[in-house]
Structure 1
Amino acid sequence: MTNQLSSVIPPCTWSRPIGLGWDKPYTVRYASNIDDGPWHGMPLGGFGAGCIGRSSRGDFNLWHIDGGEHTFKNIPACQFSVFESDGTSSIAYALSTQAPDDGSLQTWQWYPENTGTYHALYPRSWFVYENVFQAKLTCEQFSPIWENNYQETSYPVAVFLWNAHNPTDQAITLSIMLTWQNMVGWFTNALKSPQVKIRDDGSPVYEYQPRLGESQNNYNELVENNQQIGCVLKRVASDAPIQEGDGSWCIATLKHPQVEVFHHTRWDPDGDGGDVWESFAKNGALPNYTDATPASEDTQLGTAIAVHFTLQPGETLEIPFVLSWDFPVTEFAAGINCYRRYTDFFGRDCNNAWAIATTALQEYQNWRSQIQTWQQPILERQDLPDWLKMALFNELYDLTSGGTLWSAASKLDPIGQFAVLECLDYRWYESLDVRLYGSFALLMLFPELEKSVIRAFARAIPHSDNHQRVIGYYYTIGADTTTAARKIAGATPHDLGAPNEHVWEKTNYTCYQDCNLWKDLGSDFVLQVYRDFLLTGAEDVDFLADCWPAIVQTLNYLKTFDQDGDGIPENSGAPDQTFDDWRLQGVSAYCGGLWLAALQAAIAISDILLTNRREKLRAGVPPVEQTSPIGDAARTVGAENTETNLGEFGDLAVQKSTYETWLKQSRPIYEEKLWNGQYYRLDSESGSDVVMADQLCGQFYARLLSLPDIVSSDRALSALKTVYDACFLKFSNGQFGAANGVRPDGSPENPQATHPLEVWTGINFGLAAFLVQMEMKDEALRLTQAVVQQIYDNGLQFRTPEAITASGTFRASTYLRAMAIWGIYLVWNRA
């Protein structure tokens, strides 16, 4: 605790009056999609540790404690409260404007709306309380997350740093109370083998039933040492191995000569709350009641600590509270468990919430300083508008709350494996087509985690899974039931699996489309490999070596879709790429451009590996490729590949020559079939005149990676200006962002279409990055600002969707692709 003023809240936060609702927030486009409503705030907790969320009305309501699963519910007993007295009168409020709707805690007084401001700039947020208390009160919230930090960033902890200042001419007595409900055992699926079904939109889903309210044998105990005091919330241990849901919570604070700390370890959250509120509202105290008796069936337990102090006129005091949790196991399918990354530092016995809390109370000032040091250079930039700085940091929320997994370290993965869901509605990890855009944030801030994801894809490409599955797309259009093998050897998987199976080991979970037929995934993989190498210093040749066998496999596999032998794989007429409701036929601008860029990237990679091989041989050292973890599995792709000896890279020079031949053949075909004198056609066979917003994603990536242009600069600029005019300016007068595809006059080709008439947040941010790359910064900012305003003005903050529409609906909240906004920042710095 320090007698000092708190740090200044940056001017570029997202802010909103405490408790102020939305007149007309966005709502879901499809009833089957998740729509929690607009009350989302910045999440708290480390990557892969589970997280919680506290909204701008002050309630704790987001519970992503079980990896990959979503629980949204206000738990009123989890709350801060403040008592204030000037010696003649006193007041006390629980600091949420949302009173319980279940009849509980009726003795509590709830904070009035619009009497203060909430600010958020991930990973920090602030509540500034005004016009209620005489004291000036601010609560700053954060978790220890900053770039290139592979330890504290994983911690399951939240710091609440209170700053209390007395601006009056008389003494003020204050008490700040943190109450918490014992929720040990709640966050795990009661259905250990839930049945997978096809939802009405064609997506595979399974039922999740958290064990909310199952508190039998839970208990709370007071813990303290010379410097810290808190309450630990546990469950009576059994002799069985630790399972998902086993663990502990802790609330704690510092001891200090200027304060008195009160406690109450057992009160009833289902009652009227008088057992803690009566004494607290009377004088800011608690009865110091201690009872560690385990709960019986149908009993709920709350605990509380309160810090009581007096401020003289002009005096300021900073008081830290810490919330920590320790649930070391994430369970995928029944019996398939994963330890979380933070257990590398705190152990796996599920009794470390107190150790985590005391660490936080020792280190919180250093942690906050590290966050400020990371953010400040961006916040100080004069060439970036405040709204862009705000969105850059706040869109990182998904790295915490996107169902994030971060496993404990292993010999093969020395910092563990990492994964973020595509979104809450499409609940599978690291969709490769989506992360082509959305992984820029991870690449720039946590490059080793980024490379761990790509290595996981490289390991998966050789494998096969012949299990036949229903393809959901055909289900939605009423076609005859169609099935397909889950994973074909050599095909790049769409994703790294889902929370109910075995993430990283069992891939290609989605069955909306047959992703073995997609024409972008293989190219996406190659481009991300080279990007991650190049933009992390261009020195990690081992990374390229690890991925090279998979690159050869997937390019050979993708080339088999070149049915007419012109050098470019054709789209089939089914939705077989990231726009998976949009039929493309023949050579397409999108997939064809990615193919050209990927061939160039593969040629560049082969050059690097050839140089490395020559240098190793001259030095008498075995070449790095002989240690590739993919190994012999890469040799089983099929007859077309068996002569290349992929396990030992085969003849790199031959592979390079093959890609050069394909590239030479493909490039003129792309121009001949697609260029119409103004922009690139959607595809070569449908006859559509639609202007596709992302038609030149391949060109963007080629330039990003300092590869030769796949189209001439003048044609790229002409196409980009056409996109900006048709898809953005002429689509709803530029209010919402760029639609995916409209005619040159801005009108829809098919008014009933889904994907073409949606504004995809991540695609727009990728398009804006392309505009910056082509020296159209003003246009990039105008486009980006339109999308950012739609998100942050209409109740979509901290749940950014994949898509919004001009009618005020959204689809697929908490979407990975939106972190593409960091691609704008990357290109801006290189422009």
Structure 2
Amino acid sequence: MTHLPFLPTISSCSWSRSIGLGWDNPYTVRYASNIDDGPWHGMPLGGLGAGCIGRSSRGDFNLWHVDGGEHVFQVFPACQFSVFEQVEDAPPQAYALCTEAPNHDTLAAWQWYPVQGKRERRVGNREAEPDSGKYYALYPRSWFVYRNVFQAYLECEQFSPIWAENYQESSYPVAVFEWSAHNPGNRPITLSIMLSWQNMAGWFTNTLKTPEVTVRDDGSPVYAYQPQIGKSQGNFNQWLTSGDCAGCIMGQSDRQTLEEGDGTWAIATCFDAEVFYQARWNPIGDGRDLWSSFAQDGSLPNVADESPAARGEQIGAAVAVRFTLAPGETKQIPFVVVWDLPITEFAEGVVYYRRYTDFFGRSGQNAWAIAQTALKSYKQWQQSIQQWQQPILDRSDLPDWFKMALFNELYDLTSGGTLWSAATEHDPIGQFAVLECLDYRWYESLDVRLYGSFALLMLFPNLDKSILRAFARAIPKEDDRLRTIGYYYTIGQPSPEALRKAKNATPHDLGAPNEHVWEKTNYTSYQDCNLWKDLGSDFVLQVYRDFVLTGSRDMPFLEECWEAIVAALEYLKTFDFDNDGIPENSGAPDQTFDDWRLQGVSAYCGGLWIAALEAAIAIGQTLERMTTNSGGVNKKPIPTPQSLIPQWQNWLEQARSEYQEKLWNGQYYRLDSGSGSDIVMTDQLCGQFYARLLNLPDIVPIDCVRSALQSIYDSCFINFNQWIQDQRDNCLTPTPLPFSPIGAANGVRPDGSPVNPKDTHPLEVWTGINFGLAAFMVQMGMQQEAFEITEAVVRQIYEHGLQFRTPEAITATHTFRACHYLRAMAIWAIYGVLVEFKALKSEK
């Protein structure tokens, strides 16, 4: 994009869309019970674990992940920026900067931003894209550029202070909006920028303190979330000034006990111009009480009314900054939105304070202090973000679309129901967790984060280690409650009950927001996760990965995880029923592809097991060296590595030969040893990827690896997409869009066709698995093929309305499943293999 020299530069790598431009044929949800909010999603704003808000490319604030782990998608029209403009004595104009007017009579007196601007634009016989400006996003920054409506050039940059290895400001509950205005003409222009907001104090908490858990039609456990949105009795607004900062605090009447959702919100600005305010107005009326003054001359009546809201009443606040630009003059005006809601509550009475309270206190009365900090520091924050991003953006060997997706897929660290607790003696930077997704609402699913946690590891390694420490603490624990297994419900069979968490079984997840995250694990009940054959290996590999890829120096981390590693492997080995060195899959879906039956030794789980044994041996040897070199000063690991390593080496030797003999078919590795399937599985050699990543011995001959990857590329990508195109061409009903590849299917026959056209997981394209496959291909010198697959998936996400809600799966019928999915951050594994991990290995 071309930019005027007086406005901030927007990277050409940013995702962009015309303001107010809709989607002709966006992806729709595969299962009606899953969440589908539609395509109007923009980049989220807010700190990690502090809650976040989202603003779409039509200008509305519509995503409210303010209560930890819970999802609200709803437009509150009063939360809005508006602009007044007058050029000398010409008639003024004023618009609220959203292209979608509210339904019914809410704010009926307001004027809403026109989609087409002042000119009708047509290309041939069809209407062209709207010409009112563009929205750009490159997480954690996004921009609105307004054109053809106002005489002034206007641009608004939005961001929160998130950058790599920043364990303080990245937790702040703040959104910064820096406005840049320029007068390109030869007459003075008077502008006024207004930020209006509703008092939302107390809204975001679940009023169902013990919600009933039920099984949804897809077999997943769900519970109702019922926030108290709109209940504002006793809320009040207060106008404050301090130095050159001014704004409104939106609070509640006195609370004897602070609860979840309680606290304060603030809107504020830092000014060297006229500032106006209205501390109390009706945000659900026709809006005339605010708009009439603003639309007339850009002012507000300066009402400082602190009277609390009556029963059934809602109240809003607004602040406006008015200034005049001489010809050629440029001015920048910052605004901030802040929320200080210190408490996250899981089950009733299970309370955690958020990480940012380590820096601003726990009273819930610190929104003004946070706002002042933001207005003082936002320029430094901008620079820190740029310094972090720029080396990647400057790389000429990476295509722009890849750099765009690399940063924008980090959105889930903010909006993935993210938790980040306050520090304790045991957890000095707190505990952290991101949901598997909004539909499967439990935290840090271990099989999913095997791929999706690369972003967290590379950017916030201490947080990633904190999650693995939580798993290490959970492995030896037992939870003897019984629950129904949902998978059998979906296939019409009687649903058995299973133990919630077996002792020494590696848990699938760290729990859900309605119980006690980090303590009550294994929330999912779709399958009996005590029987899964990948979780123990996943844990061992991630522990060793975090050790190796952060410099191989964090011995306390290895020590803390050691006993759990031993327990996880020994538990998993109990499923080696024929004593051939490899645990067998049971014929039920018992791994991350939990709709896909594997029988006997499987390529996926067996390869992870071999790599995990290699990693465990390396960990044991490292701990043994540490003990020896310290002269016995350090406490010896129990059980001692030297008592286990010979046994593990014996298992490993058995497993290698069995794996190769039972699964290699001359071109690729069979799905498993028991089904007789000829499916080419995309992720058949994930264990090999991890082994090579961590400088461990290859689990299979390298020529077999190359052959298998070529088979995957040919069958699951090239042939599968050709099969889709053939199906479309043979369809009697024409499809609305030209075909473009959608990515690699999880598993198809060599010719790209399905074993069963009604299959679920095998025929889906999983975004994170595709990115993981691409990282593996890059590792093996197949960079062109890797980027073909990656680009196909990225284009599906960002061209068809899936941006900032990336799903687990997309299908050939233009449907998706499981939005806001953790695994998609595996795109960072591609960058890691290309750049960062190479550099780390060369340093070693």
TM-score, normalised via structure 1 length: 0.96
C-alpha separation in 1, matches of 2:406 and 2:389: 10
1:797 corresponds in structure 2 to: 803
Say yes or no: does 1:710 pair with 2:699.
yes
C-alpha separation in 1, matches of 2:231 and 2:133: 36
Matches within 5 A, 1:575-586: 575-586=589-600
Match of 1:205, SS state, is: strand
Say yes or no: does 1:687 pair with 2:676.
yes
C-alpha separation in 2, matches of 1:244 and 1:654: 49
- Cα offset for 1:4? 9.4
Q: Which amino acid aligns with 1:440?
A: F
Worse overlay, 220-229 or 147-156 = 220-229
1:735 corresponds in structure 2 to: 741
Say yes or no: does 1:346 pair with 2:373.
no
CA offset digits 1:35-63 (Å, max 9, x no partner)? 00000000000000000000000000000
Q: Any conservation in 2 of the 1:4–1:318 contact (CA below 8 Å)?
A: no
Match of 2:339, SS state, is: strand
Q: Any conservation in 2 of the 1:404–1:420 contact (CA below 8 Å)?
A: yes
CA offset digits 1:116-145 (Å, max 9, x no partner)? 000000000000000000100000000000
- Cα offset for 1:334? 0.5
1:47 corresponds in structure 2 to: 48
C-alpha separation in 2, matches of 1:665 and 1:372: 51
CA offset digits 1:213-259 (Å, max 9, x no partner)? 101000100011122000000010122x2100101100000131xx1
Q: Which amino acid aligns with 1:693?
A: T
- Cα offset for 1:622? 2.5
Instruction: State the identity %.
Output: 69
Say which of 92, 105, 108 aligns to 1:106: 108
Say yes or no: does 1:247 pair with 2:247.
no
1:722 corresponds in structure 2 to: 711
Matches within 5 A, 1:252-331: 252-256=268-272, 259-331=273-345
1:27 corresponds in structure 2 to: 28
Say yes or no: does 1:227 pair with 2:206.
no
1:673 corresponds in structure 2 to: 662
- Cα offset for 1:6? 3.8
Q: Any conservation in 1 of the 2:602–2:673 contact (CA below 8 Å)?
A: yes
2:518 corresponds in structure 1 to: 504
Match of 1:513, SS state, is: coil
1:628 corresponds in structure 2 to: none
1:635 corresponds in structure 2 to: none
C-alpha separation in 1, matches of 2:714 and 2:477: 44
Say which of 89, 92, 97 aligns to 2:91: 89
Matches within 5 A, 1:38-187: 38-87=39-88, 88-113=90-115, 114=130, 115-187=132-204
- Cα offset for 1:270? 1.1
- Cα offset for 1:658? 1.1
Q: Any conservation in 2 of the 1:184–1:218 contact (CA below 8 Å)?
A: yes
1:515 corresponds in structure 2 to: 529
C-alpha separation in 2, matches of 1:242 and 1:661: 57
Q: Which runs of 5+ in 2 are unaligned?
A: 116-129, 723-739, 839-844
Match of 1:433, SS state, is: helix
Match of 1:220, SS state, is: strand
Match of 1:731, SS state, is: helix
Say yes or no: does 1:809 pair with 2:815.
yes
CA offset digits 1:766-825 (Å, max 9, x no partner)? 000011001010101110000000000000000000000011000000000000000000
CA offset digits 1:313-342 (Å, max 9, x no partner)? 000001000110000000000011010000
Say yes or no: does 1:765 pair with 2:779.
no
Match of 1:665, SS state, is: helix
C-alpha separation in 1, matches of 2:414 and 2:26: 24
Q: Which amino acid aligns with 1:428?
A: W
- Cα offset for 1:754? 0.2
Worse overlay, 205-214 or 473-482 = 473-482
Say which of 791, 814, 827 aligns to 2:833: 827
Matches within 5 A, 1:6-21: 6-21=7-22
1:441 corresponds in structure 2 to: 455
C-alpha separation in 2, matches of 1:4 and 1:725: 48
1:643 corresponds in structure 2 to: none
Q: Which amino acid aligns with 2:80?
A: Q
Q: Any conservation in 2 of the 1:261–1:308 contact (CA below 8 Å)?
A: yes
CA offset digits 1:45-86 (Å, max 9, x no partner)? 000000000000000000000000000001000000000000
C-alpha separation in 2, matches of 1:748 and 1:400: 37
Q: Any conservation in 2 of the 1:179–1:304 contact (CA below 8 Å)?
A: yes
CA offset digits 1:524-568 (Å, max 9, x no partner)? 000000000000111001100000000000000000000000000
C-alpha separation in 1, matches of 2:367 and 2:180: 25
C-alpha separation in 1, matches of 2:683 and 2:651: 23
1:787 corresponds in structure 2 to: 793
Q: Any conservation in 2 of the 1:6–1:318 contact (CA below 8 Å)?
A: no
C-alpha separation in 2, matches of 1:787 and 1:480: 38
Q: Any conservation in 2 of the 1:441–1:820 contact (CA below 8 Å)?
A: yes
C-alpha separation in 2, matches of 1:248 and 1:238: 12
Match of 1:810, SS state, is: strand
Q: Which amino acid aligns with 2:470?
A: A
CA offset digits 1:357-399 (Å, max 9, x no partner)? 0000000000000000000000000000000000000000000
C-alpha separation in 1, matches of 2:97 and 2:336: 17
Matches within 5 A, 1:209-228: 209-228=226-245
C-alpha separation in 2, matches of 1:269 and 1:143: 26
Q: Which amino acid aligns with 1:744?
A: P
C-alpha separation in 1, matches of 2:382 and 2:621: 44
- Cα offset for 1:621? 2.1
Q: Any conservation in 1 of the 2:190–2:325 contact (CA below 8 Å)?
A: yes
CA offset digits 1:688-734 (Å, max 9, x no partner)? 00000000000000000010000111000000000000000111237
Say which of 319, 335, 338 aligns to 2:349: 335
C-alpha separation in 1, matches of 2:720 and 2:203: 46
Question: Which of structure 1's runs of 4+ aligned residues deviate more than 4 A?
Answer: none
CA offset digits 1:187-237 (Å, max 9, x no partner)? 111101000000010000000011111010001000111220000000101
Q: Which amino acid aligns with 1:59?
A: D
Q: How many residues in Structure 1 have an aligned counterpart in Structure 2? A: 801
Q: Which amino acid aligns with 1:737?
A: G
Q: Any conservation in 2 of the 1:526–1:601 contact (CA below 8 Å)?
A: yes
2:634 corresponds in structure 1 to: 622
CA offset digits 1:157-210 (Å, max 9, x no partner)? 000000000000010000000000001111111101000000010000000011
C-alpha separation in 1, matches of 2:516 and 2:834: 39
1:640 corresponds in structure 2 to: none
C-alpha separation in 2, matches of 1:447 and 1:185: 34
Say which of 465, 469, 481 aligns to 1:455: 469
C-alpha separation in 2, matches of 1:238 and 1:701: 52
C-alpha separation in 1, matches of 2:287 and 2:777: 57
1:406 corresponds in structure 2 to: 420
TM-score, normalised via structure 2 length: 0.94
- Cα offset for 1:417? 0.2
Match of 1:473, SS state, is: helix
Match of 2:63, SS state, is: strand
Quote the RMSD (CA, aligned, Å): 1.0
C-alpha separation in 1, matches of 2:96 and 2:152: 16
Say which of 398, 422, 431 aligns to 1:384: 398
Q: Any conservation in 1 of the 2:271–2:333 contact (CA below 8 Å)?
A: no
Q: Any conservation in 1 of the 2:563–2:639 contact (CA below 8 Å)?
A: no
- Cα offset for 1:431? 0.1
Q: Which amino acid aligns with 2:175?
A: A
Match of 2:157, SS state, is: strand
C-alpha separation in 2, matches of 1:238 and 1:505: 29
